Amino acid sequence: MDLEELIALAESERAGRLPVEVRVCLAASCLGSGAGGVRDAIAGAIADRGLAGRVRLREVGCLRLCSEGPLVQVDSEGADPALYAKVDARLAPVIASAASGDPAEGIRLVDLGSPFFALQRPIVLENTGVVEPERIESSLAAGAYRSLHHALHELGPEGMIAEVTRSGLRGRGGAGYPTGLKWATVAKMPPGPKYVVCNADEGDPGAFMDRSVMESDPHRVLEGMAIAALAVGADRGYIYVRGEYPLAIARLDTAIRQARRLGLLGSMIFDSPFNFRVDLRIGAGAFVCGEETALMQSIEGRRGQPRPRPPYPAESGLWGCPTLINNVETFANIPAIIREGSDWFSAIGTEGSKGTKVFALAGKVRNSGLVEVPMGLPLRTIVDQIGGGAPEGSTTKAVQTGGPSGGCIPSGLFDTPVEYEALKALGSIMGSGGMIVMDQDDDMVGIARFFMKFCMDESCGKCVPCRAGTVQLYRMLDRIERGVAPAGELGRLEALCDLVKHASLCGLGQAAPNPVLSTLRFFRHEYESRLVSPDGDGARAPTPR
């Protein structure tokens, strides 16, 4: 395929649009709420009313306001788009009426001008809920693979790396390592086999950002990977995705086959000497396989366990070859950076944290779902305005970022901007993007115990500090929560946290104490109130579970 053919396909798709389009969210969240039946019922209602020549039903990905699903949006020429919430199959005739231009009565209309949507800045999610993830023609009409063509024929490898470096993009998997520097390191390695790996092993409790991107816009991830491969000189790539994400796996598989068929992946891409083959590797659910060296072990067919670094994957990765590893969101940023330029991207965000960040906003908040905000936005804006604040009758107490490796930030510090260094200073991390809001009923000792149990269960057991340390930390937290721990327990708890943090082999163990340390820092009174005093008094009654 050449550029003219790509443009012709995109124009053909756009020319086939009808005056009214009904978009039904068929991402995992809405499907779990019955969106499949809603789609079938709306299709039937459109046919029954003889609207097939004027109204088109589109099966799209995430429409973002997940707490209100199933979601359906009606786009009519000359009218504002209308997003409907909590749609069930019985409301299909109402949707058909709305598509006909009649009033839609008895159905809940979402305000698209509300802070939940108005304060977001979609870059990664710009086509999420817009394109049909199982039709490459839909993605091409939205501009897919144009950035790859531009990179291939105009920028070249050095130009691409320079653009990504100047953009200031940092890895969105959690550590925040400069993406351009990582690409440049792999590109400088001696000629020979190189690999590009997409880390899609999203394992944090409550996190679903990467899953939503893969389900909703898989070609964006593939295009980002192909550009990266071109930049570093790789011809082979893998997407390591969780087995618990069957819909994402199916749509990625479909997208890979479609792109190969059109010559956008595989051999002689865009009729050039550039070859890039992508394969899926399905993880079995081990949290440690989100760590890049354990992930590579798993791809190689071995037990997923981390290995000491250096050497880093950029020097010696898959089968001893230089390997570039980025996560889903990082790759999904690349097409926009190549298309719009590094100056455009770097103008968004803060001095040290450029661009946007996608969060899975969940917990004790009115609006939960997928949000993408510019770096630097205060936590308070995300929780109270985009999220709508705590439900009636409750008060927001804290927000947890970074999953089991992150920390809990009290509401009094919600003016903190969302950026790597600011969150780190509070003992938390950006992480991959899980954000869980808690209210006054959430017990912080119990929260710390929950995350420690998660780390204990998920420890691969390779190094003693993590294998044994997480078990002992869990037991100490359990005793504190039950009100049977002695007065000196907090000192021992902090000492063991320090040991596990500094002596563990990989990031899982090194970050496992973070939820404990952050809750001790900001909610120490909740620990102290449970301790038994030397004379046997002072312990609170055991907490029922």
Q: What angle do CA 52, 58, 60 make, to 5 degrees?
A: 170
pLDDT digits (tens, 9 = 90+) for 313-344: 999 999 999 999 999 999 999 999 999 999 99
Extract the tokens encoding 386.
């985009």
CATH classification code of 143-346: 3.40.50.11540
Residue range 346-375: average pLDDT?
97
User: Within 10 Å of residue 317's Cβ, how many Cβ atoms?
Assistant: 26
First to last CA, the chain: 61
Q: Which of the 8 DSSP states describes residue 539?
A: P
Residue range 26-54: average pLDDT?
96
For position 540, what pLDDT does the model report?
Answer: 55
Distance of alpha carbon 329 from alpha carbon 434, whole angstroms = 13
User: Within 10 Å of residue 93's Cβ, how many Cβ atoms?
Assistant: 15
Extract the tokens encoding 177.
């390592």
| Percentages (nearest 5) of helix, strand, coil residues in the chain | 45, 15, 40
Show me where the domains of the chain are located.
17-112, 143-346, 355-439, 444-529
Which residue carries 């709420």 as its tokens?
33
pLDDT digits (tens, 9 = 90+) for 292-308: 999 999 999 999 999 99
Q: What percent of the chain has pLDDT over 70?
A: 98
Residue range 71-80: average pLDDT?
95
Q: Are 288 and 160 in contact (CB under 8 A)?
A: no
pLDDT at 431 over 90: no
Q: 70: cis peptide before it, omega within 30°?
A: yes
For position 537, what pLDDT does the model report?
Answer: 60
For position 461, what pLDDT does the model report?
Answer: 94
Residue range 206-223: average pLDDT?
96
Q: Give the DSSP letter string of 120-138.
A: ---STTTTTTTS-TT-HHH
For position 193, what pLDDT does the model report?
Answer: 97
207's enclosing H/E stretch is none
Distance of alpha carbon 112 from alpha carbon 251, whole angstroms = 28
pLDDT digits (tens, 9 = 90+) for 244-274: 999 999 999 999 999 999 999 999 999 999 9
pLDDT averaged over the chain?
A: 95
Residue range 129-141: average pLDDT?
98
**SS (HEC) of 234-256:** CCEEEEEEECCCHHHHHHHHHHH
SS3 22: strand
Q: Are 195 and 317 in contact (CB under 8 A)?
A: yes
| CATH fold of the domain at 444-529 | de novo design (two linked rop proteins) (1.20.1440)
pLDDT at 151 over 80: yes
273's enclosing H/E stretch is none
Query: What is the architecture of the domain spanning 17-112?
Result: 3-Layer(aba) Sandwich (3.40)
- Model confidence band, residue 536 (pLDDT cutoffs 50, 70, 90): low
**SS (HEC) of 379-438:** HHHHHHHHCCCCCCCCCEEEEEECHHHCEEEEHHHCCCECCHHHHHHCCCCCCCCEEEEE
Q: Are 61 and 28 in contact (CB under 8 A)?
A: no
For position 370, what pLDDT does the model report?
Answer: 97
- Closest to 527 in 3D by CA, of 426, 446, 439: 446
User: Using CB atoms within 10 A of its CB, is residue 380 exposed (0-12), middle (13-18) or buried (19+)?
Assistant: middle
pLDDT at 174 over 80: no
pLDDT digits (tens, 9 = 90+) for 480-489: 999 999 989 9
- Closest to 385 in 3D by CA, of 113, 67, 115: 115
For position 103, what pLDDT does the model report?
Answer: 85
Residue range 226-254: average pLDDT?
97
Q: Are 339 and 143 in contact (CB under 8 A)?
A: yes
CATH of 355-439, one of 3.90.420.10, 3.10.20.600, 3.50.50.60, 3.40.50.720: 3.10.20.600
Q: Which of the 8 DSSP states describes residue 65?
A: -
517's enclosing H/E stretch is helix 514-522
For position 403, what pLDDT does the model report?
Answer: 86
pLDDT at 74 over 70: yes
Mention every residue, 6+ apart, whose C-beta is less than 8 A from residue 519.
407, 408, 444, 445, 447, 448, 526, 527
Extract the tokens encoding 357.
């960040």
Give the phi and the psi of residue 52 in degrees, each rounded to 5. Answer: -60, -30
Q: Are 215 and 25 in contact (CB under 8 A)?
A: no
